[in-house]
Each structure stands twice: as structure tokens, then as C-alpha cells.
């Protein structure tokens, strides 16, 4: 059961990364002054409307990839430190663990 719920959490993170706009959003947030950005900072470089950008930001927050902090009237988004690295390590570990062994026999 733990393995299954781990896979669900992983799948949700990968789902958040499964859209080119959201990959761009992560890099734009990271590159913004102070490593944080508001929705207004992100609409122009993406040429998208505020509701669309807000929708994508929400998915990234729910997947644990961005934090959202409200200060005065604005919400500031920032990367969750290490979140992408954790996902990256999972894939690299899987790649190493799942690599075909040369000693295995191949069915014909």
C-alpha cells in the first residue's frame, strides 16, 4: 500500500510537469528577482491570461513543486527547494535499478 501511494504522489508530480507551460513557469519563477514571482510577473513572458497562469500555478502548488505565500494583496510563488531534485533522484535510481542485466537470458 505504501508503494502504491508513493506511486500516486510521484504520478501527481509528473502530471504537474507534463505541460510545457508549467515547465516554463517553474523556470520563470526561479529566474525572477528573489526567486519568487506573482501571477502578474508571469502573464507577460508567457503571453497568457491571468486566470490561465493562476490555474497552472495552482497545479504546481498542489503537486508540491511551488510554495505560495500571501503578502499584502499579492501571492508570491517560489520553488520548493529540492522538490525537483527528489523526483530526479527517483528516476535516476529507477534507471540504475531497472537497467537490463547482461547476465539475463533473452527469450526468443
What is the rounded distance in angstroms from the CA atom of residue 75 to the CA atom of residue 39? 8
Query: Which positions ≥6 away from 43 have C-beta within 8 Å?
Result: 49, 50, 53
Q: Which of residues 61-90 bind its own copies (CB under 8 A)?
A: 71, 76, 78-79, 81-85, 87-90
What is the rounded distance in angstroms from the CA atom of residue 10 to the CA atom of residue 5? 9
Nearest to its own copies of 32, 54 (CB atom): 32
Binding residues for its own copies, rule: CB under 8 A, are 4, 7-8, 10-12, 14-15, 17-20, 22-24, 26-27, 30-31, 33-36, 71, 76, 78-79, 81-85, 87-101, 104-108
Amino acid at each position: 500500500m505504501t508503494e502504491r501511494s508513493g506511486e500516486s504522489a510521484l504520478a501527481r508530480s509528473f502530471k504537474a510537469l507534463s505541460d510545457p507551460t508549467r515547465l516554463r513557469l517553474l523556470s520563470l519563477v526561479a529566474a525572477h528577482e528573489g526567486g519568487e514571482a506573482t501571477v502578474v510577473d508571469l502573464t507577460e513572458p508567457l503571453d497568457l491570461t491571468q486566470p490561465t497562469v493562476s490555474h497552472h500555478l495552482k497545479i504546481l502548488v498542489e503537486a508540491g513543486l511551488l510554495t505560495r505565500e500571501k503578502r499584502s494583496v499579492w501571492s508570491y510563488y517560489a520553488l520548493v527547494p529540492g522538490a525537483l531534485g527528489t523526483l530526479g533522484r527517483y528516476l535516476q535510481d529507477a534507471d540504475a535499478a531497472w537497467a537490463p542485466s547482461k547476465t539475463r537470458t533473452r527469450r526468443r
